[in-house]
Structure 1
Amino acid sequence: MAKDYVSSVLKSLLLILQLVFLSQHQSASASIVKFLPGFEGPLPFELETGYIGVGEEEEMQLFYYFIKSERNPEEDPLFLWLSGGPGCSSISGLLFENGPLTMKLEEYNGTLPSLVSTTYSWTKVTTQKKVINFIRPSQYTLTYHFPQTTSIIFLDQPVGTGFSYSRTQLVDKPSDSGEAKRVHEFLQKWLGKHEEFISNPLYVGGDSYSGKVVPALVQEISKGNYQCCKPPINLQGYVLGNPLTEFETDMNSRIPFAHGMALISDELYESLKIICKGKYVNVDPSNTECLKLVEEYNKCTETVNPFLILEPFYEAETPDSYIYRYLLATYWANDESVRKALQINKESIGRWIRCNLDIPYTQDIISSVPYHVDNSIDGYRSLIYSGDHDLGMPYLGTQAWIRSLNYSVIDHTDFFLNLPFLGRYRRTYANKMTFATIKGGGHTAEFKPEESSVMFQRWISGQPL
């Protein structure tokens, strides 16, 4: 009898310990953040941070920031954002492109850098007023109100990016196709822990290198909805900014773009066209004349900022450079109080860096065009946009692969006066794809965040751009 009693007590204690462990594990995996060091007062939005384990043993711990829509999160679309690189933290999106906070641009003095609210977050209801002065002595005030907002998951991927880490040594290197599968698994598990969002429309997106992963991810989700996974994910479409799509097409467009922007002479451009025959990367080594001309082009553009040709190319992080906020973000993210507020696992990583470009990675998707084709056949909407002053991934290359799809144009406008991003190009195709350029924009939305926000909110609301 006594033996049975002791056994019963031990079982009860074991159950209690298991419950305590599970409770601690769950509370550590996700937490609501109400205050952030560097921001004055409570956050004016709801922020959740946490880890989701993926892989057979959940050895890969993917870190995310989740910000709820400030309008109606119960019904508004859910949006998953991936930064490029591969290896750039999603803080790049959150603090510099489409999130509700950004770094306060001030000279670093050894104390914690400050955060300030933005007006252009994709999680906000945007009401904008724009006064336009025309050549005639008159003014027009235009008001834009876009009721649609999104809740955004900013995800650090692949493992080794941002605060994401692996508990064990990875057997396989991350890859384009592998990341599409892992992010799909992340989404399934995240929705399993946030069942209230399962029925919300889902969009995925990102910029730069994520142009390889996002279209493949859309296909993975679509296949999963039919083959394996219940309940299905309510995927509706995807968004890509200045995306890397097909390396040679994108890179070969740099020289025509540079010529069109008066960065190289007519004579050099004509010689390049004739001698290189439009092929400026992976040049045949025997074509020495072409190689010399390409080298001359490189010398002509070596001081040009490839991410925004309107800005000088800064080699140092100084307060007057646009990249200075990256330095501030690095100081901020490595502060112990910030890591504690974000609930970062102390064993995850050492020093946080914005873009970890040393991650072992296999680029196994040569072209994401076939994925765009399949996604179009499956009926998903897409918005592809380009800052028209990006030399790194010029809009000419994006236009080229979109034209290769041979979809008919159902609507287009080459110049706008009724939106804050004056003078731009937009085409809508029969496959539910919209392509737009942002006047004066660079490689990412950070260079024209307000204009990017207006464009996105019109598109996601189903309004014409």
Structure 2
Amino acid sequence: MKIQSFALLAGSASLASAFSIPFLDDASFQIPFFDKLKSKQSLADKAAVAFGDIPEDLESIWHEMEQEFPDQAAKYNFLSKPSKLSSSRKTEWLYNVRDDEFPKHGLRVKDPSILGVDNVKQFSGYLDIDEDKKHLFYWFFESRNDPANDPIILWLNGGPGCSSNTGLFFELGPSSINQTLDIVRNPYSWNNNASVIFLDQPVNVGFSYSDKTVDNTIAAADDVYALLSLFFKQFPEYSNQKFHIAGESYAGHYIPAFASKIISEPNRNFNLTSVLIGNGIVDPLVQSAYYEPMACGKGGYPSVLEPRECKKMRDAHPKCAKLIQACYDTDSRFACVPANFYCENALFEPYSKTGLNYYDIRIPCDGDLCYSQIDWVEQYLNQEHVMQAIGAEVESFTGCDSGVGVAFSATGDGSKPFQGYVTSLLEADVAVLVYAGDKDFICNWLGNQAWSNALEWSHGEKFALETMKPWKIGEEEAGSIKNVEKFTFLRVYDGGHMVPYDQPEASLEMVNRWISGDYKLGTK
């Protein structure tokens, strides 16, 4: 996905992923989501066809947006992308698991260790959901330490539409990929003291595929729960360990919803202990107020915008907040989609003109996804011998799938609130870590700190009043932290959107302490 779309790469989320939509100019995406939509229709007319009758006050907002952003509105056709098709590649599976408890699901397992990504036991393959013809790809690595007792972590990248294999090879997995497409061992991999599952979800992300479309977070939760249940059924030796879900960016939507789905299932066969949300988008209403402060010198880094551009962002925010509030109040597409559209164009446009990296305010954007190293990962994973080894059943691998982003955007999922699920997790005694690299713009630490402080839960007032304390690794101050009970917020100094990439040592220290049950991360 091109960066101009603002959909967030490797760990990426976006308040409005896919709505600045230059990539929709590509003829391959010009497939009408609704046949009745014609290019000469107004934005409000298109919305009416797609969503049904729209209240008069919201209809006027659609017309206002069309006038304010005519170039974007002209391209806005509620389009979707065809589902990925599987390849003709033949695979010999180590296991092909079926279980009476999940009669419509299967789990295929392959041993990809021949690639040398790590020397631990590992599995890759697909969860098959027969009824819906869905196939979710996963890659599992045992702990380098004590796999019989170390916890399990499920890692999720964001987007929506970005593959967790990007997180594997670019951020926190056992190895990275260099420019010559060679494997480079990562001494700071999160599987140093935990077994890790990297999952491509929802369907049509990364190596996953389907002739169906998943276009919202709640629907994706059912598929993830099915995969985990079958995985731990096939490998019961891992089912008694503590289980954690971690991820970043749009995973700020995924993780709270997926974890809430898990704890709602009384007969689950694994033990959810905690979640870790990195530079996430969880509460768009609160977080939208912090794009201007982060870009304009109030987040610990000098302003990257001229005063007039900062004012432009400040002036746009009240309307953005009003639209997101309407989304919160109605939970409907005809309210949530305008919030996505307006807030991205109004709040992100000034920053986009700088040419700076959305995920690290200190550096320029380099390449389609702002990091040239992402291209190396894609090239490596598209090699035929790699696809054969892991059992991939798609014709090609793409790090971030724009079609998935468009599908989610057409439901307004990005502007919906997910902080209520976090409340439910804390009240159910599930620990929650919110961590944020402090040089990210797109899901910045100011907004993450703000929604954490505003969260309503049994110890919410105490948490809001708690002061930040220095967080040290040895004698070096690596961040600042606050904690009450099982809720922790951590600001990681000099980390961007992808903390494990920018600050690998601090990232590993954080995760090792957290999964050991040290929710203060070494502070007193």
Normalised-by-shorter TM-score class: 0.7 to 0.9
Contact 2:95 2:110 in 1 (8 A): no
> SS of the residue aligned with 1:163?
coil
CA distance change for structure 1 residues 298 and 375 in 2, over 3 Å: closer, same or farther?
same
Q: Of residues 238, 243, 257 in structure 2, which corresponds to 1:202?
A: 243
Q: Of residues 387, 397, 409 in structure 2, which corresponds to 1:352?
A: 397
Shift of 1:70: 1.2
User: What corresponds to 1:222 in structure 2?
Assistant: 263
Q: Of residues 254, 267, 281 in structure 1, which corresponds to 2:291?
A: 254
Counterpart Cα distance in 2 of 1:394 and 1:427: 17
Q: Of residues 294, 307, 312 in structure 1, which corresponds to 2:364?
A: 312
Contact 1:76 1:150 in 2 (8 A): yes
Counterpart Cα distance in 1 of 2:474 and 2:94: 50
Shift of 1:407: 3.9
User: What corresponds to 2:371 in structure 1?
Assistant: 323
Within 5 Å, which residues of 2 pair with 1:27-426?
29-36=108-115, 39=116, 43-54=118-129, 57=131, 59-104=133-178, 106=179, 108=180, 113-124=181-192, 149-166=193-210, 169-170=211-212, 173-224=214-265, 226=266, 229-231=267-269, 233-259=270-296, 260=298, 261=301, 262-265=303-306, 269=310, 273=314, 275-276=315-316, 298=350, 302-315=354-367, 323-345=371-393, 349-359=394-404, 360-361=407-408, 362-364=411-413, 366-405=416-455, 406-409=460-463, 413-419=468-474, 422-426=477-481
Contact 2:295 2:351 in 1 (8 A): no
Unaligned runs of 5+ in 2: 1-91, 99-106, 325-341
Shift of 1:265: 4.7
> SS of the residue aligned with 2:512?
helix
> SS of the residue aligned with 1:341?
helix
Cα deviations across residues 96-120 of structure 1 (Å, max 9, x unaligned)? 121111012x3x5xxxx11110010
CA distance change for structure 1 residues 271 and 350 in 2, over 3 Å: closer, same or farther?
closer
Shift of 1:295: 7.9
Cα deviations across residues 375-424 of structure 1 (Å, max 9, x unaligned)? 11101001110000000111111111111123413965433454476352
CA distance change for structure 1 residues 24 and 306 in 2, over 3 Å: closer, same or farther?
closer
CA distance change for structure 1 residues 268 and 119 in 2, over 3 Å: closer, same or farther?
same
User: What corresponds to 2:73 in structure 1?
Assistant: none
Q: Of residues 439, 444, 456 in structure 1, which corresponds to 2:498?
A: 444
Shift of 1:44: 2.1
- Structure 2 length as normaliser, TM-score? 0.68
Larger Rg: 1
> SS of the residue aligned with 2:436?
strand
Counterpart Cα distance in 1 of 2:477 and 2:226: 41
* Paired letter, 2:448: T
Considering only aligned residues, what root-mean-square deviation do their CA atoms show, in Å? 3.1
Tell me the percent identity.
26
Contact 1:421 1:438 in 2 (8 A): no
Cα deviations across residues 424-448 of structure 1 (Å, max 9, x unaligned)? 2211023x11110111111112222
- Structure 1 length as normaliser, TM-score? 0.76
Say yes or no: does 1:455 pair with 2:505: no
Contact 1:102 1:115 in 2 (8 A): yes
CA distance change for structure 1 residues 187 and 264 in 2, over 3 Å: closer, same or farther?
same
Shift of 1:95: 0.8
